[in-house]
């Protein structure tokens, strides 16, 4: 396949590649920013991805009217300038949305997620989709299916390069705005090259002025600081920094430091009540503790509470090294020599460690994402049980209420209780705004104040006076009697994740059943009004998008850090598309219908096999070598999926 037949095409080739590079980087940047804005889970990710594909498709469709344009090169340069500028604007507007259109702490509904992302993505997606069709016309004046295939192949090559650049360079060295400026200057360079070659003097001058303005603006205004301050209005911004695992922000409210990751509150320092409850409810149940495992939250000060007990060592596991680095910089909570810092995924550490602990304290948010849900499953609790001593305890918490559980909170707490009960003989629940679950095979007691007094542990809040009103027989009986029978929460049957989703959706007066029925009716209407071959193409695209989301969620469940790998997985998908595009372009016209039937059948088989492979990878992940290998295998699975479509 001869790609570059003349100089004109070589110039356009550079512009197409620049569009591909910028499209994939913009997609990943915008995805990460939206996840932070919406404190999002995988459902939010799916909605944003669907909007991106929908709008880009509409933009490509609108490109059919490009033949009516007389000066196509002029239009191409202007649109490429817009493609350069929009990513910077998108990131700024997304961050500004949080305080301009939503109240602080407000839960954002799925409808608002859909509408907001649709509106914000509309300019870039429509323009980039339109530009791709414009490239088809300009690059292949003679027309023909092969020339069209070449354009899409080159765009995919750009996508792959963009994904690799982001995943292996930009994410490590630059902020989101700096990455957006990389896109800006790349596309402006492409616009300058096209303007010079086609002798568009006015456009060349305009592009040069845009470059000069952009450079001046880059050095004059720190958009990262300005936009992050807007997101956390009313709080003093201490630091904003991106890591492999998320966007980490530290704010100050009086003497308290607040840590946020991807918009979700991780913990706050000086929150003595929470720290004492998290630690002493569990530690009061055991005698002389030697070793304690703490999963997250140590920077907040829980380590100090653990060290009030005569322990020899606290193993504190945190996934993100940046959290530890900033914890050391801004607090004194990690200075004691008895604290052993472990930087890795806590689930993997618990799977592979040979240590035995007196207590395992899990200090994590509710299971609002597939990543966090991994720490609420029966598989995880079985792993925890293997590393605690015979008389050891495990502790975990969940949103609750001291006096009343609504149906959603009731199901959520019941699922956790039933899941723990499937592993441990005894469970007690300490009621409150947070319900603390203590699990063990030994007898447990509600006499926490008495136990702490016996151990001579000094506390500010968790004492006889505080607990006498909190742990009453009436409250305990009400809570235990409120528990209902539910399914066990499992890695690949995440019922707690589902219940938390219902808990989230309950805050909004939206009839999602009606919306689902409406979508099904529309699909049925489409089935009866579309010809077989276009319908097969539609179902192939639908299956590809759905299976890509399944792969992302599966990756999140197994490894717990899809945030870093969004770019890599999307790049793998684009690589598969490029391979498939090249193959079909070179074999165009050969047994078209027969090939389509084979592809549809192969996708169906792929959809059946994929869940079993993900479960297998999850079970094999205990071994570090296999754990690393499967991180390579999953992108390969993504490539195979993309080749098929």
Q: Is 456 helix (H, G, I), strand (E, B) or coil?
A: coil
Instruction: Label residues 503-527 b or e (16+ Cβ within 10 Å = b).
Output: bbeeeeeeeeeeeeeeeeeeeeeee
Separation between Cα atoms, residue 360 and residue 343, nearest integer Å: 17
At a CB cut-off of 8 Å and minimum separation 6, what does 71 contact? none
Per the residue annotation, which of 224, 320, 363, 491 is the catalytic one?
A: 363
Plot region of 246 (φ>0 → left; ψ -120 to 50 → alpha; else → beta): left
H or E segment to which residue 466 belongs = helix 464-470
Tokens coding 413: 């707490």
Q: What are phi and psi of 177, to 5 degrees?
A: -65, -40
Pick from 234, 303, 228: nearest CA to 260: 228
Separation between Cα atoms, residue 162 and residue 593, nearest integer Å: 34
Burial class of residue 472 in the structure, from the number of CB atoms within 10 Å of its CB (0-12 exposed, 13-18 middle, 19+ buried): middle
At a CB cut-off of 8 Å and minimum separation 6, what does 347 contact? 374, 375, 380, 383, 560
Instruction: Report yes or no: 570 and 27 within 8 Å, Cβ to Cβ.
Output: yes
Separation between Cα atoms, residue 324 and residue 318, nearest integer Å: 7
Write down the number of H helices and E strands in the chain.
25, 11
Plot region of 152 (φ>0 → left; ψ -120 to 50 → alpha; else → beta): alpha
Pick from 579, 580, 549: nearest CA to 566: 549
Q: Is 236 helix (H, G, I), strand (E, B) or coil?
A: strand
DSSP per-residue codes, 318-354: ES-HHHHHHHHHH-STT-STTEEEEES-HHHHHHH--
Tokens coding 368: 């609002």
Q: Residue 441 catalytic?
A: no
Residues serving a catalytic function are 363
């Amino acid at each position: 396949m001869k790609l570059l037949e003349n100089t004109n095409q070589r110039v356009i080739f550079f512009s197409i590649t620049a569009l591909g590079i910028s499209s994939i980087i913009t997609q990943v940047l915008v995805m990460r920013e939206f996840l932070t804005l919406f404190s999002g889970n995988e459902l939010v990710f799916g909605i944003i991805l669907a909007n991106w594909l929908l709008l880009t498709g509409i933009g490509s469709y609108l490109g059919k009217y490009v033949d009516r344009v007389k000066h196509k090169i002029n239009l191409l340069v202007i649109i490429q300038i817009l493609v350069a500028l929009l990513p910077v604007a998108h990131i700024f507007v997304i961050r500004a949305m949080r305080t301009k259109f939503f109240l602080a702490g407000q839960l954002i509904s799925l409808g608002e997620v859909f509408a907001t992302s649709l509106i914000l993505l509309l300019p870039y997606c429509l323009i980039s989709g339109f530009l791709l069709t414009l490239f088809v016309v300009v690059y292949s004046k003679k027309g023909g299916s092969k020339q069209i295939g070449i354009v899409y192949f080159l765009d995919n090559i750009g996508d792959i390069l963009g994904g690799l650049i982001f995943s292996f360079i930009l994410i490590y060295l630059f902020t989101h705005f700096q990455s957006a400026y990389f896109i800006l200057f790349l596309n402006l360079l492409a616009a300058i090259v096209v303007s010079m070659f086609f002798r568009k003097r006015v456009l060349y001058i305009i592009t040069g002025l845009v470059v000069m303005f952009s450079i001046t603006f880059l050095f004059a205004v720190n958009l990262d600081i300005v936009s992050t301050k807007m997101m956390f209005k009313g709080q003093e911004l201490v630091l904003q920094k991106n890591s492999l695992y998320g966007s980490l922000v530290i704010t100050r409210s009086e003497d308290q430091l607040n840590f946020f990751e991807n918009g979700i509150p991780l913990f706050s320092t000086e929150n003595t009540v929470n720290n004492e409850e998290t630690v002493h409810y569990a530690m009061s149940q055991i005698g002389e503790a030697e070793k304690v495992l703490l999963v997250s939250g140590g920077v907040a000060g829980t380590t100090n509470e653990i060290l009030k007990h005569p322990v020899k060592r606290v193993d504190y596991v945190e996934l993100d090294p940046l959290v530890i680095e900033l914890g050391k910089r801004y607090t004194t909570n990690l200075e004691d020599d008895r604290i052993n810092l472990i930087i890795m995924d806590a689930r993997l550490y618990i799977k592979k460690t040979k240590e035995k602990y007196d207590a395992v304290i899990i200090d994590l948010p509710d299971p609002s994402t597939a990543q966090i849900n991994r720490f609420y499953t029966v598989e995880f609790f079985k792993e925890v049980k293997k590393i605690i001593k015979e008389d050891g305890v495990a502790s975990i918490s969940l949103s609750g209420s001291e006096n009343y559980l609504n149906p959603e909170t009731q199901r959520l707490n019941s699922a956790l209780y039933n899941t723990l009960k499937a592993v441990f003989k005894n469970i007690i629940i300490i009621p409150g705004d947070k319900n603390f679950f203590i699990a063990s095979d030994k007898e447990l007691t509600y006499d926490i104040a008495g136990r702490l007094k016996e151990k001579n542990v000094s506390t500010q809040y968790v004492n006889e006076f505080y607990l006498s009103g909190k742990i009453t027989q009436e409250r305990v009986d009400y809570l235990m009697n409120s528990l209902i029978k539910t399914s066990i929460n499992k890695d690949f049957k995440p019922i707690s994740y589902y219940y938390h989703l219902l808990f989230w959706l309950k805050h909004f007066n939206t009839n999602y059943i009606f919306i689902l029925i409406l979508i099904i009716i529309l699909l049925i209407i489409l089935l009866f009004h579309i010809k077989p071959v276009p319908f097969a193409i539609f179902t192939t695209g639908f299956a590809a998008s759905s299976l890509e989301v399944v792969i992302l969620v599966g990756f999140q469940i197994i490894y717990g850090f899809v945030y870093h790998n969004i770019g890599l997985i999307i790049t793998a998908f684009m690589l598969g598309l490029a391979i498939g595009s090249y193959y079909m372009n070179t074999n165009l016209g050969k047994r078209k219908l027969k090939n389509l039937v084979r592809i549809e059948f192969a996708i169906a088989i792929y959809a059946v096999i994929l869940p079993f492979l993900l479960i297998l990878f999850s079970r094999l992940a205990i071994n570090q070598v296999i754990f690393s290998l499967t991180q390579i295998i999953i992108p390969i699975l993504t490539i195979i999926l993309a080749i098929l479509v």
